[in-house]
């Protein structure tokens, strides 16, 4: 299965269990670790665990491998590693604190890439 199809499968599995603010980011030009990062907000630790289970079940049912799942005990940030797709399931305060979307979005605004102004000019 291509990484694009896998990421779409993940988004669908998250949507089925009412994941909030689902964001799929193509990072294949930014890192060799993975092709897509999917970030989703859950409403509680129990919801995060249900989201992780939904993703794992959907991926396994599609004949793909779940490389690993981390953080289910603390369950404020659960990571599901699918190889070419990494899924971050987070509670809202944790998602706001780490702001992964901003970290992995290098398509910055023109003023962000502008050269520093010359104070002598």
Print the domain residue range for 89: 3-105
Q: Got the DSSP string for 55-76?
A: HHHHHHHTT----EEE-TTT-S
pLDDT beyond 50 at 90: yes
pTM score, whole prediction: 0.83
User: What is the tally of structural domains in the chain?
Assistant: 1
Q: Mean per-residue pLDDT for 37-61?
A: 96
Whether residue 117 lies inside any domain: the answer is no
Whether residue 111 lies inside any domain: the answer is no
pLDDT beyond 50 at 119: no
For residues 33 and 37, give the distance between their C-alpha atoms in angstroms, rounded to a whole number: 10
pLDDT at site 106: 53
For residues 6 and 116, give the distance between their C-alpha atoms in angstroms, rounded to a whole number: 41
| Residue 36, SS3 per DSSP | strand
Nearest alpha-carbon partner for 84 in 66, 63, 96: 66
Whether residue 113 lies inside any domain: the answer is no
Q: Mean per-residue pLDDT for 72-80?
A: 90
pLDDT beyond 70 at 75: yes
pLDDT tier for residue 117 given thresholds of 50, 70 and 90:
very low
């Amino acid at each position: 299965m291509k990484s694009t199809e896998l990421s779409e499968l993940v988004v669908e599995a998250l949507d089925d269990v009412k994941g909030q603010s689902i964001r799929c980011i193509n990072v294949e030009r930014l890192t060799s670790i993975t092709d897509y990062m999917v970030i989703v907000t859950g409403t509680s630790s129990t919801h995060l665990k249900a989201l992780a289970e939904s993703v794992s079940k959907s991926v396994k049912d599609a004949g793909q491998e779940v490389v690993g799942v981390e953080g289910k005990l603390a369950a404020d940030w659960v990571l599901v590693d699918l190889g070419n797709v990494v899924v971050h399931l987070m509670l809202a305060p944790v998602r706001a604190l780490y702001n992964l979307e901003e970290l992995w979005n290098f398509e910055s605004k023109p003023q962000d890439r502008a050269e520093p102004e010359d104070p002598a000019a």
